Structure 1
Amino acid sequence: MLVFITVGSTRFDALVQAAISEQVLDALHKKGYKRVVIQRGNSDFEREASGNGQDLVVFEKNGMEVESWKFKSSILSEVQRADLVVGHAGAGTILDALRQGKPMIVVPNPTLLDDHQGELSSRLDALGYLTASTVDNLAATIGAFDPSSLVSFPPFDGSRFRRLIDQEMGYSVNPS
């Protein structure tokens, strides 16, 4: 089983370091995961065999195969092949995972402007679509995580936007 961990396009050193911590790797291993793929963005990645700063880093730790890289043009294929997505609480990352029907744990980055990730993750957690955590509680959150308790995210309906615009512009709107 595969876990995909993503920090998006910014730095989130705390999440990257937590992802390779013994506590988090042990929690994942106990849940049956065997492989972790980490998209680390511009985060610091200190590892004894880190590949001397190369983009792709692969190693084994605590019975887990760990792969890490900075960026790819799209993370959708990584999300699709993952059994669990752990990520920063960026709206795009969340939508990618939930639209693919993937169970998700989000860890808001509190260093970003006005804690918008915290607000988004709290609301989606309250609605049951995902589970929110903090960096410090990530291992415990993984240990208690039950994907079957999550609510399915509604499918995309592009016609809703058109209806909203039509209504706002005063056009005749069919309520269906």
Structure 2
Amino acid sequence: MVQKLCLVTVGATAPFEKLIQAVLHESFIAELEKHDFTRLLIQYGKGGQPIFDAYRAEYENGKIVHDIQIGGFDLRPNMTSCLCMVREDPSIGQELGMMISHAGTGSILDALRAGLPLVIVPNPDLANNHQQELAEFLAEAGYAIVGKLDDIPSVVGQAAQRGDQAPLFRRDNGDRSIMTMSDELSWVD
């Protein structure tokens, strides 16, 4: 069976329970199934484990039924292994998946470097709405899709259509804004 993974990350510094609730909602999971996703892996970060555990309990008790494998974890020091699981690898029967991320620059740059279809969901509860600005900037530049908490299922089809057309970030592609973000985070090529 071909595997197709949707990786969701909320980051390490600020809780984002609303995104976890949105991706565990029945309508989002149904949309994943519609687009042949087989797995959902959620990095639920600070404060998200109770939401994830409550969902898993309902699923294990048979109150929720679907064919998507769902896993989760709090934090990992290095997300590279998760990003590799999203990449297409025909040798192991894996299709290109997608990443849904909070608007943290580290997570965004990781996804861009991996060439993944990327959906950025800004956290509206953070001060100054800086995540919305970053998400809109990257969407206008063609690097990502902006998702909204109240309509998260709609991004699945958009990301699936992008597929391998997701732009891969390289230092030699000339995008100064992305290079500046990369430099500020001390990324070395």
Q: Tell me how large the CA RMSD over aligned residues is.
A: 2.5
How far 1:113 moved relative to its partner? 2.1
Q: Against the structure 1 CA distance between its residues 131 and 29, is the aligned structure 2 distance closer, same or farther, given a 3 Å change threshold?
A: same
Distance 2:164 2:80 in 1: 24
Partner residue in 2 for 1:33: 37
* Aligned mate of 1:125, from 120, 133, 139: 139
AA at the equivalent of 2:32:
L
Distance 2:65 2:85 in 1: 21
Partner residue in 2 for 1:43: 47
Unaligned 5+ runs, structure 2: 87-96, 181-189
**Do the aligned partners of 1:130 and 1:150 also contact (CA within 8 Å) in 2?**
no
Distance 1:102 1:116 in 2: 23
Number of equivalent positions: 153
Distance 1:17 1:148 in 2: 25
Partner residue in 2 for 1:99: 113
Partner residue in 2 for 1:141: 155
Distance 2:165 2:140 in 1: 10
Partner residue in 2 for 1:62: 66
- The ranges of structure 1 where at least 4 consecutive aligned residues each deviate by more than 4 angstroms after the TM superposition are 148-151
Larger Rg: 1
Unaligned 5+ runs, structure 1: 51-56, 165-176
Distance 2:169 2:112 in 1: 9
Distance 1:3 1:149 in 2: 15
Q: Against the structure 1 CA distance between its residues 149 and 84, is the aligned structure 2 distance closer, same or farther, given a 3 Å change threshold?
A: closer
Q: Aligned with 2:171: secondary structure?
A: coil
Q: Aligned with 2:149: secondary structure?
A: coil
Partner residue in 2 for 1:4: 7
Distance 1:40 1:48 in 2: 12
Q: Against the structure 1 CA distance between its residues 3 and 148, is the aligned structure 2 distance closer, same or farther, given a 3 Å change threshold?
A: closer
**Do the aligned partners of 1:105 and 1:130 also contact (CA within 8 Å) in 2?**
yes
Q: Percent identity?
A: 29
AA at the equivalent of 1:93:
S
Identify the structure with the greater helix proportion: 2
1:152 paired with 2:167, answer yes
